[in-house]
Structures are given as structure tokens and as C-alpha cells.
Amino acid sequence: MTSPALQVSELTKDFGGLRAVDGISFSVGAGEFVGLIGPNGCGKSTTFNCISGLLESTSGSVEVFGQDVTDSRADQIQAFGLTRTFQHTRLWREMTVIENLLVPPRDQFAPNLIISLLRPSTRKAEKQRLINAYEVLEMLEIEHMAHNLASELSGGQSKLVDIGRALMSSPRVLLLDEPVAGVAGPLAEKIFQNLRTLTSERNIGMLVIEHNMDFILRTGVDRIIVVDVGRILMEGNPDEVRQNQDVIEAYLGDT
Ligand SMILES: Nc1ncnc2c1ncn2[C@@H]1O[C@H](COP(=O)(O)OP(=O)(O)OP(=O)(O)O)[C@@H](O)[C@H]1O
Ligand SMILES: [Mg+2]
């Protein structure tokens, strides 16, 4: 049997006496688009921080395509193909949008940067990166902002550039923390549709945190994991989530 893109098993994270993540287990398959939803403070971002190696988990394990990365450093986990974005976007504010996308990932160049840049193969690779960057901006519908400084962008636009940066690393597993927060409704839906297509086309394991239940239910994700106080309340496809009694009581009201 092939391993899932991401396997999280019994993941727990304590901050002193506070158990922020309480024995969470789930998987995301390659080519699967999964939503992670739950109320403020229920442990969604902490789950991302543990998976991506930013925080050391208290117990449990994380595997990326069958590779145990539980005790690996964040940069090692990224090298296995897992990329994540942060809830609070961090762009290079004095650089343009396109420059933000083109900042090379670590270890892209040989130790001598100048010699590396002069090599024809490097120039070709850089040209390809530029083409990729414009394709990514087009997909996110912000290609007209390519030469704007990041400091000029709205919160929603910054979020989109941040997704773009994550996509530039050609991730095999992509974790997006509230990627469309602050993005106007119709555009947010379009971006989700485009991410859906990309997930299938590139066979990415995609896990997206979203805080709006109505929104996630109509965006065509394959599966939704509903978290409450550090635990999984339920998981299922959008129809199953819509009909789940616990979810109805917690989110949807008894209409
Ligand atoms: N570094 C930290 N140190 C101590 N407590 C933390 C830390 N990070 C998160 N917490 C706490 O852990 C709990 C879960 O926080 P987390 O940020 O994971 O929630 P969330 O589901 O992402 O919430 P939101 O929807 O507001 O983004 C909260 O009670 C939070 O205050
Ligand atoms: Mg969060």
C-alpha cells in the first residue's frame, strides 16, 4: 500500500498545563484537498507548527510519504517536500511581489553564488522560475500586481502572495493557514477552486485551515476535519459534515 502524503498519529502538544493539541490522528492523500476547521484557539495552527517542525510535539508522530519526520528540523521537513504558510503573513516588505516569489529557497545555489549565477544552466533555471512565478500570480489573479511593493498590498493580497511563495517551492505536501483570510468572498472561492485544480494536477497533499464553516462547505474540498478543543470532533466529506449533529449544534444552528 502506498503511504499517504501526510500521516499524523496521536499528535499531542502541551504548553505548560495547557493541552493545545490532544491526540489528533489523520491523514492526507496525494492529490487530496482537505480542510481543517475549528473555533478560535482549538489548536489548528499549533497542529501545523508541530507537523512542520516549528514546535516540538509532546507526543505522537508525523510521516511525510512514509518518512518519519517527527524529530526532524523544519528545514529537513521542507526538504522532504512539505511547505507551510503562516496565519500571519511574513513577506519581504521592501521587495516587489515578483521578487518575493523569486527569493530562492535555501540551498538552491552552489556555495559560490556568483559563479553559480554565471552558469548557463543556472540562467536557464532562473528564466524558468520567472515563467513559473508569473503562472502562479496568474492563478492567484494578482499578476497585475507583480511590480508592486509588498508593503503596498492589502492583507488579503499579501495572503495571496504568500500562497504564491509556497507554490514556488513545488511542494508535495502543502499546509495553508487561513490562506484567504481578508480576501473578498468571490475571489476567495475562485482561489480555492484553483487550489483544488492544482492539488489534482500536481498530486499535492493539501491541508487548508479555514475558520468559516459555510465557506469551506461550498468550496469543493474532498474532506473536512473538524477540530474542537484540541481533538477531532468529526471528519468526512462536505455532505457528511453538513449532516453531522455535533457540527450542526456547534456551527450551523438548528435550522
Ligand atoms: N507558543 C505558545 N505558547 C503558549 N500557548 C500557545 C502557544 N501557541 C498557541 N498557544 C495556545 O494554544 C491554544 C491553541 O492555539 P492555536 O493558535 O493553535 O489555535 P487556532 O485553532 O489556530 O486558533 P485561531 O483560529 O485563533 O487561529 C490556544 O489556547 C493558544 O493560546
Ligand atoms: Mg490559528
pLDDT tens track for 60-79: 999 999 999 999 999 999 99
Residue 114 has a pLDDT of 66
Evaluate whether residue 184 is within a structural domain: yes
**Mean pLDDT, all residues of the chain:** 91
Instruction: Using pLDDT thresholds of 50, 70 and 90, give the confidence band for residue 1.
Output: low
Say if residue 106's pLDDT is above 70.
Answer: no
Say if residue 253's pLDDT is above 70.
Answer: no
Nearest CA to ligand 1 atom 11: 20
Say if residue 40's pLDDT is above 80.
Answer: yes
Evaluate whether residue 151 is within a structural domain: yes
Q: Give 147 Cα–ligand 1 centroid separation in angstroms.
A: 35
Residues 27-38 have pLDDT tens digits of 999 999 999 999
**Ligand 1 nearest atom to the CA of residue 227, by list position:** 21
Say if residue 239's pLDDT is above 70.
Answer: yes
- Half-sphere exposure at residue 80, Cβ-oriented, CA atoms within 13 angstroms: 23
Nearest alpha carbon to residue 21 among 7, 3, 2, 8: 8
**Ligand 1 nearest atom to the CA of residue 38, by list position:** 21
Say if residue 255's pLDDT is above 80.
Answer: no
Percentage above 70 pLDDT, the chain: 92
Does residue 204 contact residue 30 with C-beta atoms inside 8 Å?
Answer: yes
- Buried b / exposed e over 3-18, threshold 16 CB at 10 Å, is ebbbbbbebbbeeeee
User: Does 46 contact ligand 1 (Cβ within 6 A)?
Assistant: yes
Evaluate whether residue 1 is within a structural domain: no
Evaluate whether residue 81 is within a structural domain: yes
Place of cell 504568500: 162
Does residue 137 contact residue 99 with C-beta atoms inside 8 Å?
Answer: no
Q: Using CA atoms in the order 138, 75, 31, 228, what is the torsion angle rounded to 10 degrees?
A: -100
Nearest alpha carbon to residue 52 among 193, 207, 183, 184: 207
Residue type, 89: T
Evaluate whether residue 102 is within a structural domain: yes
Residue 111 has a pLDDT of 54
Nearest CA to ligand 1 atom 16: 43
Evaluate whether residue 18 is within a structural domain: yes
Say if residue 80's pLDDT is above 70.
Answer: yes
Instruction: Using pLDDT thresholds of 50, 70 and 90, give the confidence band for residue 241.
Output: very high
**Nearest ligand atom owner, CA of 211:** 1
How far apart CA 166 and CA 174 sit, in angstroms, is: 8
Does residue 17 contact residue 35 with C-beta atoms inside 8 Å?
Answer: no
CATH number, domain at 244?
Answer: 3.40.50.300
Partners of 81 in the β-ladder: none
Percentage above 90 pLDDT, the chain: 74
Residues with CB under 5 A from ligand 2 (ion): 44-45, 87
**How many helices (DSSP H) and strands (DSSP E) are in the chain?**
10, 10
Full residue range of the structural domain in which residue 65 is found = 6-252
Q: How many domains does the chain have?
A: 1
User: Does 42 contact ligand 1 (Cβ within 6 A)?
Assistant: yes
> What Rg value do the Cα atoms of the chain yield, rounded?
19
Evaluate whether residue 128 is within a structural domain: yes
**Ligand 1 nearest atom to the CA of residue 55, by list position:** 1
Does residue 84 contact residue 174 with C-beta atoms inside 8 Å?
Answer: yes
* 67: three-class secondary structure by DSSP: strand
User: Does 49 contact ligand 1 (Cβ within 6 A)?
Assistant: no
Evaluate whether residue 44 is within a structural domain: yes
User: Does 88 contact ligand 1 (Cβ within 6 A)?
Assistant: no
Instruction: Using pLDDT thresholds of 50, 70 and 90, give the confidence band for residue 242.
Output: very high
Nearest alpha carbon to residue 55 among 107, 22, 5, 12: 12
**Ligand 1 nearest atom to the CA of residue 42, by list position:** 21
Instruction: Using pLDDT thresholds of 50, 70 and 90, give the confidence band for residue 123.
Output: confident
User: Does 56 contact ligand 1 (Cβ within 6 A)?
Assistant: no
Residues 173-215 have pLDDT tens digits of 999 999 999 888 888 998 899 899 999 999 999 999 998 999 9
Residue 108 has a pLDDT of 47
**Best mutation site among 12, 40, 46 for ligand 1, i.e. most ligand atoms within 8 A of its Cβ?**
46
